[in-house]
Amino acid sequence: MAKPIRILLQTTIPTTEDDWSIFRFSMLQDYLASLQDEAGNYLFSVVARDVCRQAASPIGDASRTRLRQSDAEGNDPILGSLDQSDFDELWLFALDVGDGLTAKDIAGINAFRRRGGGILTTRDHQDMGCSMCSLIDIGDIHYFNTKNPDPDESRWSRDDPYTTYISWPNYHSGANGDYQKITVVEPVHELLKNPNSPSGVIELFPAHPHEGGIGIPPSNPNARVIALGKSLVTGRAFNLIVAVDHHPDAEGNILGRTVATSSFHHFVDYNWDITKGCPSFVDELPGEGMKNEPRALEDIKTYVRNLALWLAN
């Protein structure tokens, strides 16, 4: 029997009750952990955690204390040595505004990819997640407001006009709790195939009022945009998913696959089921599209399954 694929679901913020901490990704974690092959063997083993920036409390058993303890410089105990772990994949939910990853964390993640580890990265509007800028390939794919901005200067403007304290990039694909109709870019990437869909592809994704910006670095022929979203405000198309296949780096390492998406809201509980709740600072009115259209939840779950299998190969 093959061993389950080991997935680390990881945020870049410390555990905070009134924030998008990892406990708000419980539906994703439970779904991945429930998936089985035809023989009934579990496909994935999932660990979910927030970043650690403080020394461990002496309370608790020794193994748990060691797991949570950061070093004297505040480096996360797992990320800094991720290449030496038994994880096959990292799903990185970059929720910080610049201080989420230390230099050692970055080095550990890059080393993990050099040894073939697969990585999903996702963030949100403006500068959220900009601590990722030094990650191989990934830092060039994600566009922010003050770091690595979109090379198309016509996109340096607010798309979502309703939440005025959030600046660009902030593409308005719909309300939290609603779904968006995505455009699958030809040729259809295997990540977006859904044999249970009438069209044979994934069509619906959770929506969000202010998604972030991603794109293709001209220097990376292995990256491609595989799906687009569309602003409900301006009608403007924006890149929803970028996929990067295996390719060698300058030293001959075959880098693991990586995928970037424009918003972590595609994966969080609140955007799959608004009854799960959200932090108090979220003030946009939610919708009920995901609740009323079962195909939408099936589509995003199919994408999650496809993603977990593709990143491991």
- Asked whether the predicted pLDDT for residue 191 surpasses 50, the reply is yes
What's the average model confidence in pLDDT over 131-139? 97
Q: What CA–CA distance (Å, rounded) separates 251 from 31?
A: 37
Amino acid 46: pLDDT: 98
pLDDT surpassing 50 at residue 224: yes
DSSP secondary structure code for residue 162 in this structure: S
Residue 118 has pLDDT above 80, yes or no: yes
Percent of the chain with pLDDT over 70: 94
Beta strands (DSSP E) in 112-177 are 118-122, 142-143
* Whether pLDDT at 265 is above 50: yes
> Which residue has 């058993």 as its token pair?
61
**What's the rounded Cα separation, in Å, for the pair 276 and 26?**
10
| pLDDT on residue 54 | 67
Average pLDDT of the chain to the nearest whole number: 94
For residue 43, what pLDDT band results from cuts at 50, 70 and 90? very high
Q: Is the pLDDT of residue 103 over 60?
A: yes
Q: What is the CA radius of gyration of the chain?
A: 19
| Run of H or E including 93 | strand 89-93
Residue 73 pLDDT:
74
**262: its two tokens:** 């424009």
pLDDT tens-place string over residues 283-295 = 999 999 999 999 9
Helix, strand counts (H, E) of the chain: 7, 14
Report the pLDDT averaged over residues 92-106. 97
Query: CA-based angle 76:77:78, to the nearest 5?
Result: 95
Q: Over 90: is that where the pLDDT of 59 sits? A: no
Q: What is the pLDDT of residues 2-34, one digit of tens each?
A: 899 999 999 999 999 999 999 999 999 999 999
Of the candidate CATH numbers 2.40.160, 3.40.50, 2.60.40, 1.10.110, the domain formed by 5-312 belongs to 3.40.50
User: Using an 8 Å Cβ cutoff, are 155 and 145 in contact?
Assistant: no
Per-residue pLDDT band for 58 (boundaries 50, 70, 90) equals very low
Does residue 62 register a pLDDT over 60? no
Instruction: Domain ranges for the chain, please list them.
Output: 5-312
| DSSP string of 46-81, one letter each residue | EEEE----SPPPS-S-HHHHHHH---TT---TTGGG
Helix/strand/coil percentages in the chain, nearest 5: 25, 20, 50
User: CA 141 to CA 212: how far, in whole Å?
Assistant: 11
Residue 70 is predicted with a pLDDT of 59
pLDDT of residue 74: 80
> Is residue 234 predicted with pLDDT exceeding 60?
yes
Query: What Cα–Cα distance (Å) separates residue 308 from each residue in 26, 88, 163, 186, 298?
Result: 16, 10, 33, 22, 15
Q: Residue 183: count other Cβ atoms within 10 Å of its Cβ.
A: 12
Token pair for 200: 């044979």
d(CA 190, CA 201): 9
Task: Please check the confidence at residue 61 and state whether its pLDDT lies above 60.
Answer: no
CA angle 179, 183, 184 (to 5 degrees): 120
| Least confidently predicted of 63-77, 240-254, 256-270 | 63-77
Question: Which helix or strand (DSSP H or E) is residue 311 part of?
Answer: helix 294-312
At 279, the pLDDT band (50, 70, 90 cuts) reads: very high
